[in-house]
Amino acid sequence: MKVIMTTKIDLASMNIMRKLIENFGFRETEGEFDGNPIYSKDDALILTTNDEMIYYDGPDGAINEQLGITPEIIIFASRHSSKQKLPALTTHVTGNWGNAMYGGKDESLAVAQPAAMKLALMKMDELNDLGWTVCYEATHHGPSELDVPSLFIEIGSSEEEWVNDRAGEIIAETIIHVLENYKTAKFPVAIGIGGGHYAPKQTKRALETDIAFSHIVPKYAHPVKEELLLRAIERTQGGVDAIYVDWKGSRGETRQLARSLAEELGLEFIRD
């Protein structure tokens, strides 16, 4: 089964859930998850929890314990918040390059599904008639402790956007597109290094070429430990073909680590 995770306390999450039910034929079942109704369609479930999803470590274990299934993939339908209140549609994988400030564990990375994130990015860009920013975000926040591939797809970045009907429709359609296509989509995959939180160069590269990104290490997380870069490669479903560096957006020691690691592992080194 494929799981779409939502939470009652998130306006964007509930907006997206409503659009999935209204537009894509999800039906309420007799089952419950965390005390909330389960909706299903074909091989996909909408599950709803009661608290912030970023602090929900081990959701795959909770799903197995409550429902007796191990999901193939979990898509978290969520809000995005920022001080700048930038209207945005974003996607990213979770984890922490250093201390866990917002859920998850220190220096812990979730399992990335690069094809799913690239499909999400491209579909949001295709459907975006709002004039909003569409982008990857760097790897950040929890949950980091889960052993199935997952990704966040988000509406940002203030209440005005979270409840926007069209934004909810775009994300709902994007989620369905991802679930229907991620297993057969084939792209070369890169770990992304450098740049700001909204990964502008990685986003541009993914939208203009066939490359898909896994974990992205922003400049503010540099220097990054070699074992964490190795962990990011390990925690990428389907493997990694390249290490991509936003050269001006990276610190010198991280650039050199990326280059030497690519050589050592026989990966393509892409300098942008």
Q: Residue 145: what are its φ and ψ, rounded to 5°? A: -100, 85
Q: Could you tell me which of 14, 206, 11 has the C-alpha nearest to residue 91?
A: 206
Q: Calculate Rg over the CA atoms of the chain.
A: 18
What is the percent of the chain where pLDDT is above 70?
A: 100
pLDDT above 90: residue 88: yes
* Predicted local distance difference test score (pLDDT) of residue 218: 98
Measured CA to CA, the distance from residue 68 to residue 113 in angstroms comes to: 23
Question: How many C-beta atoms lie closer than 10 Å to residue 126's C-beta?
Answer: 14
What one-letter code names the amino acid at 230? L
User: CB within 8 A of 95, min separation 6: which ones?
Assistant: 104, 108, 109, 110, 139, 140, 144, 215, 232, 235
What is the percent of the chain where pLDDT is above 90?
A: 99
Predicted TM-score (pTM) of the model is: 0.98
* Predicted local distance difference test score (pLDDT) of residue 257: 98
Residue 161, SS3 per DSSP: helix
Question: For 125-131, what is the mean pLDDT?
Answer: 98
- Evaluate the omega torsion of the peptide bond into residue 157 and state whether it is cis, within 30 degrees of 0: yes
Burial of 99 (0-12, 13-18, 19+ CB in 10 A): exposed
pLDDT interval class at 84 (50, 70, 90) = confident
Strand locations in 82-165 (E)? 88-92, 95-96, 108-109, 133-136, 150-157
Strand partners for 212: 189
Convert the pLDDT of each residue in 67-76 to its tens digit: 999 999 999 9
Question: For 220-229, what is the mean pLDDT?
Answer: 97
Convert the pLDDT of each residue in 147-164 to its tens digit: 999 999 999 999 999 999
* Domains, the chain: 2-271 (3.40.630.50)
* Predicted local distance difference test score (pLDDT) of residue 152: 98
pLDDT above 90: residue 83: no
Measured CA to CA, the distance from residue 75 to residue 32 in angstroms comes to: 18
Reading the block at residue 28, the tokens are 């309420």
Residue 61, SS3 per DSSP: helix
pLDDT interval class at 96 (50, 70, 90) = very high
- Evaluate the omega torsion of the peptide bond into residue 223 and state whether it is cis, within 30 degrees of 0: yes
pLDDT above 90: residue 85: no
Q: Could you tell me which of 213, 208, 198 has the C-alpha nearest to residue 88?
A: 198
Task: Answer yes or no: are the C-beta atoms of 122 and 203 closer than 8 Å.
Answer: no
